[in-house]
Structure 1
Amino acid sequence: MAHIDGGAVASTEPMEFVQVNGVRLAYEAVGDGPVPLVLVHGSWGSHHNWDSVVPGLVPHFRVVTYDRRGHSDSERPSGQGSFGEDVADLAALVERLGVAPAWVIGNSAGAVITLQLAASRPDVLRGIIVHEPPLWSVLPQGSDEAAACEVVERGPLAEVARRISAGDDAGAAELFVDAVALGPGSWARLPDGMRRTFIRNAPTYLDEQNDPGARTIDGAALARYRGPVLLTSGDRSPPLFRPVLTRLAELLPQAEQVVYAGAGHIPHVTHPEAFVHDVMAFMSRSSSAAHVEARR
């Protein structure tokens, strides 16, 4: 089922493919649990980002992981893409595989896509769990927090985009990891396979950076979402994510929050046991609350 590769658990199951919205997506569906769970990776990544937590989830769920369009084994269309396409792909994947409504967990850019799905297609969701979405648009214009995010956009993220445009995908990936996502020295500590995935998917990250909707969401539509929500963060993550989560908690008052001690932007990779425990605990509480409500 799995082997150790560069310090991470990597699945050996053959990939399957599905055609949605004119693009060929690679996916894996494992586990015989009665509840469907879809995991959405962030920028630069692939479905393998979730390998460390899938074994702990499959006894309880039908777990679907996939490569988002433009990433790894999924098709990379030509032309400018959009997060709106990612949202449509996720909805179509859930419906095509017959797993709607599903729980969806998203990390980083995958969390943005998950929240945008909650705003536009709540009918395909049982509930959502999101970790540190870079949704700068929810911050009040002119606030110190928005200004800090603007500094990152115009500084290291602009340099990341310049390096990709110049063909320096490895240098761009290293800068993104060390200066934006995980902190200094993190690139050198990543497993070799994860570094290769970052470099391979660099062109799609540039495409994301050029999408004006990549950091935005319809706040009014999101506020109408009534399903269970868990907002998570790491206490070692860059501080620019915290005000975003605070604002999301205001838009989604039903949301619970969890902070992973000692973790950063990818707790499913660095702290898989804690991640699985908190996912299971939250879903159990949500199911119990729904059962009580249904009996009233």
Structure 2
Amino acid sequence: MARRVEVTGAGGLPLTAWEYADGPGAAPEEALRPAVLLLHGLMGRASQWAGTARRLAARHRVVALDQRGHGRSAKPEGPYTRDAYVADAAAVVEQLGLAPVTVVGHSMGALTAWQLAARRPSLVRGVVLCDMRAVALGEASQRHWEDWFGAWPLPFSGPDAVRRWFGEEDPWLEGSRPARGEFFAEVMEEHADGWRPVFERRHMLRSRESWIHDAHWDELARVSCPALVVRGWDGELGRAEAQEMVRALPRGSYAEIPDAGHLVPWDQPEAWYAAVETFLADVAGMPVCQA
């Protein structure tokens, strides 16, 4: 069961989160369970974490956030800065009483997770960082994304057309990726002329602009809590860079998942669950670092 929760992010921005209960009603002791905050990546939404959330809800208090510009949260023209995303996450942790929380982030959500841990260590028990790079990606990467967004054949005629294009027909795609098609079908909604994304592509580009020019090694080095770096064999995060991230993290560990691309939790859910559940069990009894 998922319960919608309205929270307030940085600058008073309305944000929507979803709290997952193990059963039809939340028991009083549920708030005492170790908390997990799930942060989606760029273009994602909280509902895509449903499988992970339901798996973890038996032993944890699980909250998934629609980050600014995404899902059901507000979509202002700005700011879409790193400071704004991190402040939003901190506000959710504080308003919902989640601290000390383990933050599980995919892609951009992983960057938010480790920046939150570095800046507000007393709020964070541990972090799971799934397929997010620490190097500076550069302006060429941004131009590539602008071109890719411009190639989308909007509007789509329906969810099946979305699945086909993003899972099979996208010229930027190598091979067939059914999970990718499902991922994008879930971030589209019906309009009078067809199906379009629930986000504004210009907002996504502004979000990327806030991190692509910088490397993030110094921030990783300031993450004092336990941290798990997860990559898929065919993801965007290469093995050498992932292992360097583990070395930069004071308490880093590492998991590789075969036959998975960038969308690790959806390409290989059982292997993903096993890695995350093992990490959560390991950190459950560890002391929390203070600011």
Q: TM-score, normalised by structure 1?
A: 0.77
| Equivalent in the alignment of 1:157 | 145
1:186 to 177, 196, 217: 177
2:188 to 196, 212, 233: 196
Secondary structure of the residue aligned to 1:42 is: coil
Secondary structure of the residue aligned to 1:136 is: coil
| Equivalent in the alignment of 1:23 | 13
Count residues in correspondence.
264
1:244 and 2:241 aligned: yes
* C-alpha RMSD of matched pairs (Å): 3.3
| Equivalent in the alignment of 2:44 | 45
Secondary structure of the residue aligned to 1:190 is: helix
| Equivalent in the alignment of 1:61 | 60
d(CA) in 2 for partners of 1:14 and 1:84?
A: 27
Flag the structure with higher helix content.
Answer: 1
The alignment-based identity, stated in percent, is 25
Q: TM-score, normalised by structure 2?
A: 0.78
> 5+ residue gaps in structure 2?
22-29, 190-195
More deviation, 13-22/197-206: 197-206
Contact preservation (8 Å) 2:167, 2:176: no
| Equivalent in the alignment of 1:9 | none
Shift of 1:234: 0.5
| CA 237–63 in structure 1, closer or farther in 2 if over 3 Å, else same | same
Return the letter of the residue paired with 1:160: W
| Equivalent in the alignment of 1:71 | 70
> 5+ residue gaps in structure 1?
2-12, 138-148
| CA 117–229 in structure 1, closer or farther in 2 if over 3 Å, else same | same
Return the letter of the residue paired with 2:9: V
More deviation, 218-227/273-282: 218-227
Deviation string for 1:7-44 (max 9, x for gaps)?
xxxxxx45221122211010111232610000000011
| Equivalent in the alignment of 2:259 | 262
Contact preservation (8 Å) 1:119, 1:218: no
Contact preservation (8 Å) 2:69, 2:200: no
d(CA) in 2 for partners of 1:83 and 1:252?
A: 20
d(CA) in 2 for partners of 1:158 and 1:118?
A: 31
| Equivalent in the alignment of 2:193 | none
Return the letter of the residue paired with 2:186: M
More deviation, 259-268/152-161: 152-161
Secondary structure of the residue aligned to 2:55 is: helix
